[in-house]
Amino acid sequence: MKDGRRTFEAIIFDLDGTLIDSAPGLHAAIGAMLAERGLPEPDLETVIGHIGRGAPTLVERSLRWAGADPADHPDAYARFRDLYGADPLSGTTVYPGAREVLATLHDAGLKLGLCTNKGEAPTRDLLATLPLGPFDAVAGGDSLPERKPDPAPLLHVAEMLGTAPQDVLYVGDSETDWETARAAEIAYAHVEGGYQRRPIADFSPYLTLERIGDLPAAIKDS
């Protein structure tokens, strides 16, 4: 799709905070894991501030917030994964306009990819159950040894799509997404209102969107 400055052949999306709001379910699972250990439970905003670098980092940050040393809780991540995996749809909603955006871009002939730090198995379960897509390529946080903000997962999705990085737009909502796109030398569209809670240093996205539903028009009209 040509926007007057760039021609994109593929659009790759982040998942949590960009296409879906999964924070309530993550919050519930983190709270339950901490409560089982006699530790204080964070509020939703605190958990949102811990999201972005994958579930292991979410657990580690939450333990430290609760005053615990992660080294003293080696089973915490596995327990969180069990709690969240038992009901990953609890509290999870698709952002308004997300399904319509994917359908519009798909109908326009663009290749669609997904690059998330959520595990690949729960990601595919969510995509099938919600439903959300279609995606031509999907990479989760455990699909490669590296996780975002390392550029490898994003470049891997671009490769699976058969698209050169300069022909890809990556859509996300956080500092992690911005850092990933910048490291991969891929154009970045930032959706406001997701899980980013702090100013981002040296921030210069290709596009800034008030909501995910603005993406097709922004690509066309910018």
Q: Check residues 196 and 132 and name the one with the higher pLDDT.
A: 132
Are 108 and 193 in a shared domain?
yes
pLDDT value at position 87?
83
pLDDT value at position 5?
63
pLDDT value at position 1?
42
pLDDT value at position 206?
97
Are 129 and 217 in a shared domain?
yes
Cα 92–97–98 angle (5° rounding)?
55
Determine the Cα–Cα distance for residues 100 and 214; give it in Å rounded to an integer.
11
pLDDT at position 161 over 60: yes
In a domain, 66, yes or no: yes
The neighbouring-strand residues paired with 137 are 113
| Confidence category of residue 4, pLDDT binned at 50, 70, 90 | very low
Element (H, E) at 182: helix 175-184
Mean pLDDT in residue range 137-160: 97
Question: Phi-psi category of 129—alpha, beta or left, where left has phi over 0 and alpha has psi -120 to 50?
Answer: alpha
In a domain, 2, yes or no: no
Parallel, antiparallel or unpaired: strands 10-13 and 207-209: unpaired
In a domain, 3, yes or no: no
pLDDT value at position 32?
97
Mean pLDDT in residue range 130-148: 96
* Least confident piece of the model among 11-25, 79-93, 108-122, 176-190: 79-93
Share of the chain above pLDDT 70, in %: 97
Are 34 and 107 in a shared domain?
no
CATH code assigned at 193: 3.40.50.1000
CB atoms within 10 A of CB 155: 21
How many folded domains does the chain comprise?
2
pLDDT value at position 53?
81
Domain hosting residue 167, numbered range: 10-21+93-221
Is residue 14 part of the annotated active site? The answer reads yes
pLDDT value at position 222?
56
CATH code assigned at 72: 1.10.150.240
pLDDT at position 2 over 80: no
Angle, helices 152-161 vs 175-184, to 10°: value is: 60
CB atoms within 10 A of CB 182: 18
| Structure-block tokens of residue 127 | 């995509």
Render pLDDT for 60-115 as a digit per residue (tens, 0 to 9): 999 999 999 999 999 999 999 999 888 888 889 999 999 999 999 999 999 999 99
| Structure-block tokens of residue 81 | 């994964």
Mean pLDDT of the chain: 93
Determine the Cα–Cα distance for residues 16 and 51; give it in Å rounded to an integer.
9
pLDDT at position 3 over 60: no
Determine the Cα–Cα distance for residues 150 and 148; give it in Å rounded to an integer.
4
Say if residues 171 and 191 touch (Cβ distance below 8 Å): yes
Determine the Cα–Cα distance for residues 50 and 19; give it in Å rounded to an integer.
18
Of 14, 16, 21, 177, which one is the catalytic site residue?
14
